[in-house]
Every structure is written in structure tokens, then in C-alpha cells.
Amino acid sequence: MGNHTDILIVGGGIIGLTSAYALARAGLSVEVRERGELGQQASWAGAGIIPPGNPERTANAIDLLRASSVRLFAPLSAELREFTGIDNGFRVCGGIEFLHPEDADLPDRWAAEGLTLSEPTAEELRHREPGLTPPPRPAYRFPGMGQVRNPWHMRALVAACEQLGVRLRPHTPCVWSSELLHSYQHVILAPGAWAAEVVAPLGFTLPVRPVRGQIVLFRPTQPVLSHVVIDGRRYLVPRADGRVLVGSTEEPEAGFERANTEAGVRGLIDFAIGLVPALAHAPIEKCWAGLRPGSLDSLPYLGRLPGHERVILAAGHFRAGVQLSPGTAQIVRDLVLGSPPSIPIDAFRPDRQPNFSLRPSFRS
Ligand SMILES: Cc1cc2nc3c(=O)[nH]c(=O)nc-3n(C[C@H](O)[C@H](O)[C@H](O)COP(=O)(O)OP(=O)(O)OC[C@H]3O[C@@H](n4cnc5c(N)ncnc54)[C@H](O)[C@@H]3O)c2cc1C
């Protein structure tokens, strides 16, 4: 394709870098412009929960995207490790979800998808997770739930992109100009929570807004948990080294402020100790927060920007950008190569009306 760069990617988060990796593997020359450090925003901050998925039997578009995407996580992790020597920490550790009344439809949907799951009795829960005090809600266990260590995964992606010759340009904010479209065959916009300001100069209004999520990391002296535990919008994620990550808040009102707050951290600590009382005695290693790219209907925006054939938008992944990243990158690659997307994207059109009836089976 000549000596020039074929593709410009705006945003060096998990969506931009996984897309860069997929495009470079397809033989295209790629440049990534990142305003700050590569992979240090939401993609660094996330908890890295990877739910299970069975793409053959999903009932709606977002579940199909999730299921297709999570299927790619194990092979992608192996490929990155082989390529770069960096282990991204992906492992299938199993998960337990405690069901809230507003999610009462989920068990039927999980069953319809043919996911492997069980409804453990109190006795079984005690046996599997002796340190857990279960809340008074129905419990579902997913042996296929996994997790990835976000900072390691981002490091592996950066290294893999470098090896493939992707031109990585941190500290390079991209300001839109028509010159960009003269210089590149395609421009991929993956600017996370900043998507609205990035597409505005193209005359497009995108309702993406930052939704702050805070995290607290405990470092118990002994292992206290082995499964990911999800209880509504909050969760515990046990790392392989015994640390336990507790997330998360959902704070759209914080705007672009990324600081932790006392109320946010206190709420997470209380939640964690309520589920695993031993955490009351565990040192807290650190707290952090990230800005999720939230859309009105919590669904991502994927596809060509209306009126701009060569501009592809991949943003607004909200709570699920890590699990959706391999599938999103596959879609971006398909669009650039001019093939029909291997995962349908009509439901994610950038110019859609919000579709509140399309709910994912897992929130992350
Ligand atoms: C606390 C928390 C927990 C989470 N847990 C999970 C989870 O368990 N599982 C899961 O799947 N997802 C989870 N998520 C969601 C997931 O992290 C996000 O959906 C995902 O990281 C979004 O990736 P991104 O690449 O779109 O955004 P980002 O990682 O934010 O990357 C966008 C990048 O674009 C750059 N940028 C913006 N504007 C410009 C510009 N003009 N020029 C150049 N660069 C620009 C930014 O600096 C940024 O680095 C969580 C998120 C948070 C905050």
C-alpha cells in the first residue's frame, strides 16, 4: 500500500490499540495518536472482568458482540504473549453473580444462550468461597467467567503494536482538520470518554459522556476469594496474587474529574467488607478512578460516521470496553478492508436513536 501511512487511529486506549494491532496484522500501516500516555485512561483503570459467551445462541446484538468478542480473548492473549513475552494475566477464574430484582430476566437469557452455569446452594457457596458472606439474593455461578490485568494487557498491546511497526505517538492530541482525510485512507476515532469533542468538528453530535468509576485495591496477607463476585453494579475481583480489587461507582455527575472521593471509596470499602469480612483487616494498597465512555443507552457506537465514508467511529463502550475490544477491533478491520462486518453492527450505528430495550446480559 505504498510508503505512506494507511490508517490514522485517534486514541491509544484498548479500543484504539486493539484495532491498531488487528489492522497492522492485516498488513496495513497504522499510526496512533494519543493525547496523553498510551493506555492510561479508562482502559488502564478498568477491573478487567471478562464474562463468558456463546455466540452461536445469543438473542440480541449486544450479546452477540460480547459473546463473539470474549471468545477471542484467550487466543488474543496467547498471541500477545507469544509475540511480546508479556503475560496479560488473562485467566478463567469463575464468577458468582448475585441477582438483583431488576435483573430477573437474566437467568432465562443466560440459559437460552447455553452458558454453563449453576445455582449454588448456601452449602456449596460456603465450600467454594469460605470467606464470602453471601447477600440475601439468588446466586448464579459461571465457571467460564474470566479476568485480565488491564495494565499488563495494555503493555502487551503497546509492545505488539511496536513490533508490528505501528507508529505510536503519545502526547499528540489530534485536532480534526480536512487534511487528515487527504493524508490517510481511513481515520478511526477511538477517543473514549472524549468522543463528543473529537467528532464535533465533523459536524456530528455524539451523546458520549464520561462516567467516573472508582476502584479500591486490597492486599490481604492471605487469599480470601477465588471467584469474581458481582452484586448489582459492584463487584470484587480476586487477582492471582491474592490482591482483591473492589469496584465500582457510577458517577456521571463527576464530569472529567478523575479523583477519588471519600464517599466513593468508603462505599466500596463497606461493600467489600460486607461480602468478605476478612477484608476489614487487609491493607488497602491504593485507590484510583477512570472515566468510562458512557452512551445514553449504554451501547457502543460502531461504524462509519454518517457523511464521512472514511471515518470509522469506535467509542462509547461504557462498562464493557475491555470485554468488547477484540470484537470491536475485528469490526474495525472488516470495515477498513471493505468486507461486511463479521459481527453485525446495525444496532450500534453512530446516528441511531437510543435503544433502551437492548440490554446486555452482563454489565461487567
Ligand atoms: C472503574 C472501571 C471499571 C471497569 N471495569 C470493566 C470491566 O471489568 N470489564 C470491561 O470490559 N470493561 C470495564 N470498564 C470499561 C472499560 O475500561 C472501557 O469501556 C474501555 O477502557 C474504553 O476504552 P477506550 O479505548 O474507548 O477508552 P480509553 O481507554 O479512555 O482510551 C481513549 C483514549 O483516547 C485518548 N484521546 C481522547 N481524545 C483524544 C484526542 N483528541 N487526540 C488523541 N487522543 C485522544 C485519551 O487520552 C485516551 O487515552 C471499566 C471502566 C472503569 C473506569
Q: Which atom of ligand 1 is nearest to the CA of 247?
A: 1
Sign of the Cα torsion 319, 322, 325, 327 reads negative
Strand (E) or helix (H) holding 142:
strand 139-142
Structural domains of the chain sorted by starting position, each given as residue range(s) with its CATH number in brackets: 7-88+149-206+297-348 (3.50.50.60), 93-143+209-294 (3.30.9.10)
Query: Who contacts 174 (Cβ-Cβ below 8 Å, separation ≥6)?
Result: 8, 10, 33, 35, 180, 191, 198
Indicate if ligand 1 lies below 6 Å from the C-beta of 14.
yes
Task: Spell out the residues 6+ positions from residue 163 whose beta carbon is closer than 8 angstroms to its own.
Answer: 83, 84
Are 208 and 295 a contacting pair, CB within 8 Å? yes
**Which set of grid coordinates corresponds to residue 298?**
449504554
CA of 22 to the centre of ligand 1 (A): 18
Q: Which residue do the cell numbers 475481583 mark? A: 237
Residues β-bridged to residue 211:
292
DSSP state of 252: G
**What does the pLDDT read at residue 2?**
44
CA atoms of 195 and 199, how far apart (whole Å): 6
From the CA of 172, give the closest atom in ligand 1: 43
Residue 1 has a pLDDT of: 42
The Å distance, Cα 325 to ligand 1 centre, comes to 10
- 364 Cβ closer than 6 Å to some ligand 1 atom: yes
DSSP codes joined into one string, 24-75: HHTT--EEEE-SSSTT-SHHHHS--EE----GGG--SHHHHHHHHHHHTHHH
Our answer on whether the CB atom of 323 is closer than 6 Å to any ligand 1 atom is: yes
- Alpha-helical (H) ranges within 205-355 are 262-275, 325-337
Q: Which amino acid is at 363?
A: R
Q: Nearest-5° angle of CA 228, CA 38, CA 5?
A: 125
Q: Which of 9, 14, 251, 258 for mutating ligand 1's site (highest number of atoms within 8 Å of CB)?
A: 14
Q: In this structure, which residue's CA is closest to atom 2 in ligand 1? A: 46
The verdict on the CB of residue 33 being under 6 Å from ligand 1 is yes
Q: Among 21, 34, 167, name the best residue to mutate to test ligand 1's pocket (greatest count of ligand atoms within 8 A of Cβ).
A: 34
**Cell numbers found for residue 180:** 487528515
Instruction: Give the Å distances, CA to CA, from 163 to 15, 71, 83.
Output: 18, 25, 8
* pLDDT in 10s for each residue of the chain, 364 residues: 445 789 999 999 999 999 999 999 999 999 999 999 999 999 999 999 999 999 999 989 999 999 999 999 999 999 999 999 999 999 999 999 999 999 999 999 999 999 999 999 999 999 999 999 999 999 999 999 999 999 999 999 999 999 999 999 999 999 988 888 889 999 999 999 999 999 999 999 999 999 999 999 999 999 999 999 999 999 999 999 999 999 999 999 999 999 999 999 999 999 999 999 999 999 999 999 999 999 999 999 999 999 999 999 999 999 999 999 999 999 999 999 999 999 999 999 999 999 999 999 997 7
